[in-house]
Amino acid sequence: MTDFPASTVLGYPRIGPRRELKRALESYWDGSSDRLQATAAQLRAQTWLRLRELGLAGIPSNTFSLYDHVLDTAVLVDAVPERYRHLPELDRYFAMARGTQELPPLRMTKWFDTNYHYLVPEIDATSPFRLASDKPAAEYREALALGVDTRPVLLGPITFLLLAQAAPGSPEGFTPLSRLDDLLPVYTAVLAELAEAGATWVQLDEPALVTDLTPGQLAAVRRAYDQLASAGPKILVAGYFGDLGEALPALSAVHGIALDLVRGGLPDLSLLRGKTVVAGVVSGRDVWRTSPDVLTLVDRLRPHAAEVVIGSSCPLLHVPYDVEQETDLDPDLRDRLAFAEQKVREIVALSRGSLLAGPISAPVPAGFGITATATRSPYAIRAKAQARLGLPPVPTTTIGSFPQTGDLREARAALAAGTVDVAEYETRVRAEIEHVIRLQERLGLDVLVHGEPERNDMVQYFAEHLDGCAVTRHGWVQSYGSRCTRPPIIHADVKRAEPITVRWATHAQSLTDRPVKGMLTGPVTIVAWSFVRRDIPLRDVVWQLADALRGEVEDLEAAGIGIIQVDEPALRELLPLRQSAQPEYLEWSVGAYRWATSGASDATQIHTHLCYSNAGEVLAAIDALDADVTTIESARSGGTLLTAPGIADYSRGLGPGVYDIHSPRVPDVAEIEEHLRKILRVLPADRVWANPDCGLKTRAYAQVEAALANLVAAAARVRG
């Protein structure tokens, strides 16, 4: 029987075409508006109605979230840690998401290999799960009331538990997945509730199934879906961002499978017999138009499945809303692009066999041929040359950005609108740099930064100054909660026409006797946070960027900048999800980083910064980057870096973050001191740096000043 609508998407952006949700959240948090729920309902309605208007047949629901869909799932099954339970509903939700002055938030980390962050649920060995929210059914009914019969979407139980962490204090060796049998009844209950509300199909998202799973985990997949398949509605399991591989046979009981045919290949077709297959041929991870040639894949599937439906490769959460809004883009480039709206149109057209071939491929196909392995002198020699910097033990520094004030954003908007000229704008930026330098001097930091006031975003700024990259005006993509980024589009060969950061760095250095770090974004990160051309291999794009940055490093050094930081916060993000592909990736990505930095002389101290690195996993890669100093997120991830095997032998400078900058909470001196003492139990004082987890851009000055004063005081205490 075939009953699944002929075209669908697995999910849709939810921040709003004009970031309405961001604004509503931020004014709710600062107490200036109570329009949050109304805005949320409006955005949901708008999405359903728009998808219907575009002709999409299968419309998903429960893809909306006030902050994060993993957090929603934790709330749904009542996996709420005791410490938040006294708070009323919405306060509790946002306390878990963002923390309060008393309570740190849940840990946050990257969603698979995307730049989206989710909140990590804490699961303990005994707390009962129960159905604690009716969000999925309520949103289903909300859509129905508008005349739209939707397919509710849930995060699947396997991915939920695999992404969760064992709650602090759990017994040794406890894994959240061991609670699967306690969790399944709650899923069964939600499914029954959805069936009762009228849903015929429910989508369970299981991207974790495209990663390497152990035989025990595969058995859990089978157990879960054998059970859930008979809970009421028909089950569509969506395994995206890669191949389902070994997990596909374990899904034999379910009615439908959504395949990511952009990232993954065709599976063993015999496993699809009798099933509804959503052929994910329109990419949810890039912004390029789809070729009608993808229909050959669909044709290969048809004889084997009960029915084949055209869909997106993954939820469209990771692409912007509408390319038609980008009136400033070069029309030739714009013709090659598809954002969420255009992708939905493509899916509808493909389902009707009417998609026309358009201008798809990049016009400037050219590779890049650096094969040299780049090395600097051994670290011991460099360290000696860098002693000229005269730094104390446990030097204090920050990661680069200081708060972006409303003034700065206004000045940038005024520049874009033409009401302020470049000279006036630059005067303001220079004044801001001076302010940041004086503040850091006053606070007593050892290695200063210029604060990045000229940068709207650490990737976009470089994209704006490199040939071969384009930026958008409205192309916002949710990063976490109310935070969005506008990923640039790398569409042709990348070249640096002139120095990008030198005048800001030298201005900052001219104001102080203390060393100021030059600040660059690394090649892997620029690629990870951009949409990348697809006519040449990813590694070639990364190496082109590395070569451009190498020139910038050399120019900074020549201009008298003695410390240069090349950020690679996204190094781990691009790590392939399957282990078998990881060594090759690490080789070329680390190689590109070294190409970018190895032009520096021994006396120039190269720093790097990584975020959310689950550092244990990539310690070898951090080592291979060969930076003189690595600062890395650690406060929020509970210091997992410090227990990584081999950490005590790490021989260069290391600054595990001692202050979580993602939360408005200000840590006190004792807390930071405690972090530092923990670090000093593992690493010798001459290697340790004291710094926050990440850049301070998203915080307010009052929080930053207080926190950094405490950081400097804590460093002084441990030195003493």
CB count within 10 Å of CB 388 equals 11
Cα-based angle 534, 538, 539 (whole degrees, multiple of 5): 150
The yes or no reply on residue 662 touching ligand GLN (CB under 6 A) is: no
Structure tokens at 345: 């149109």
What's the min distance (Å) between Cβ of 472 and ligand GLN? 20
The yes or no reply on residue 569 touching ligand GLN (CB under 6 A) is: yes
- Residues 250, 252, 257, 262: is their CA dihedral positive or negative? positive
The Cα 621–Cα 582 span in angstroms is 11
C-beta of residue 69 within 8 angstroms of C-beta of residue 118 = yes
> 62, 165, 401, 456: which one contacts ligand GLN (CB under 6 A)?
401
Binding mask 667-706 for ligand GLN (x = CB under 6 A): ---------------------------xx-x---------
The yes or no reply on residue 432 touching ligand GLN (CB under 6 A) is: no
Amino acid, res. 431:
A
Show contacts with ligand GLN in window 280-309 (CB under 6 A): none
Nearer of residues 355 and 566 to ligand GLN, judged by Cβ: 566
Residue of 658, 481, 386 lying closest to 116 (CA atoms): 481
C-beta of residue 563 within 8 angstroms of C-beta of residue 391 = no
> 50, 533, 609, 699: which one contacts ligand GLN (CB under 6 A)?
609
Per CB under 6 A, which region of 135-143, 188-196, 306-314, 395-403 contacts ligand GLN?
395-403
What's the min distance (Å) between Cβ of 62 and Zn ion? 31
Residues 6+ apart with CB under 8 A from 119: 67, 68, 70, 71, 74, 96, 97, 105, 106, 107, 108
C-beta of residue 149 within 8 angstroms of C-beta of residue 57 = no
The yes or no reply on residue 105 touching Zn ion (CB under 5 A) is: no
What's the min distance (Å) between Cβ of 500 and ligand GLN? 14
The yes or no reply on residue 519 touching ligand GLN (CB under 6 A) is: yes
Q: Which does 592 bind (CB under 5 to 8 A by kind): Zn ion, ligand GLN, none?
A: none
The Cα 687–Cα 609 span in angstroms is 15
The yes or no reply on residue 611 touching Zn ion (CB under 5 A) is: yes
Nearer of residues 320 and 400 to ligand GLN, judged by Cβ: 400
Among 69, 450, 662, 675, the one annotated catalytic? 662
Buried b / exposed e over 571-595, threshold 16 CB at 10 Å, is bbbbbebeeeeeeebbebbbbbbbb
List beta partners, residue 166. 123
Diameter of the chain measured on Cα atoms? 76
CB count within 10 Å of CB 79 equals 26
The yes or no reply on residue 458 touching ligand GLN (CB under 6 A) is: yes
Could you give the residue ranges of the DSSP H alpha helices within 309-421?
331-334, 340-351, 379-386, 406-417
- Residues 220, 68, 72, 50: is their CA dihedral positive or negative? negative
Report how far apart, in Å, the C-alpha atoms of 325 and of each of 49, 287, 320, 344, 474 are: 19, 14, 10, 16, 7
The yes or no reply on residue 656 touching Zn ion (CB under 5 A) is: no
The yes or no reply on residue 316 touching ligand GLN (CB under 6 A) is: no
The yes or no reply on residue 451 touching ligand GLN (CB under 6 A) is: no
What's the min distance (Å) between Cβ of 630 and Zn ion? 11
List beta partners, residue 467. 495
What's the min distance (Å) between Cβ of 519 and ligand GLN? 6
What's the min distance (Å) between Cβ of 398 and Zn ion? 11
Q: Which does 113 bind (CB under 5 to 8 A by kind): ligand GLN, Zn ion, none?
A: none
Nearer of residues 16 and 569 to Zn ion, judged by Cβ: 569
Show contacts with Zn ion in window 568-587 (CB under 5 A): 569
The yes or no reply on residue 679 touching Zn ion (CB under 5 A) is: no
Tell me whether residue 609 is one of the annotated catalytic residues: no
Nearer of residues 283 and 525 to ligand GLN, judged by Cβ: 525
Q: Which does 400 bind (CB under 5 to 8 A by kind): Zn ion, ligand GLN, none?
A: ligand GLN
Residue at token pair 């480039």: 333
Instruction: Indicate left, alpha or beta for 378 from its phi (over 0: left) and psi (-120 to 50: alpha).
Output: beta
Nearer of residues 257 and 694 to ligand GLN, judged by Cβ: 694
Binding mask 319-358 for ligand GLN (x = CB under 6 A): ----------------------------------------
The yes or no reply on residue 400 touching ligand GLN (CB under 6 A) is: yes
3-class secondary-structure state, position 115: coil
Per CB under 6 A, which region of 85-93, 246-254, 363-371, 393-401 contacts ligand GLN?
393-401
The yes or no reply on residue 567 touching ligand GLN (CB under 6 A) is: yes
The yes or no reply on residue 615 touching ligand GLN (CB under 6 A) is: no
Could you give the residue ranges of the DSSP H alpha helices within 400-529?
406-417, 422-443, 460-464, 502-510, 523-528
Query: Which residues of the shown chain bind Zn ion in the complex (CB under 5 A)?
Result: 569, 611, 694
Show which residues are catalytic. 662
Query: Which residues of the shown chain bind ligand GLN in the complex (CB under 6 A)?
Result: 399-401, 452, 458, 519, 567, 569, 609, 611, 694-695, 697
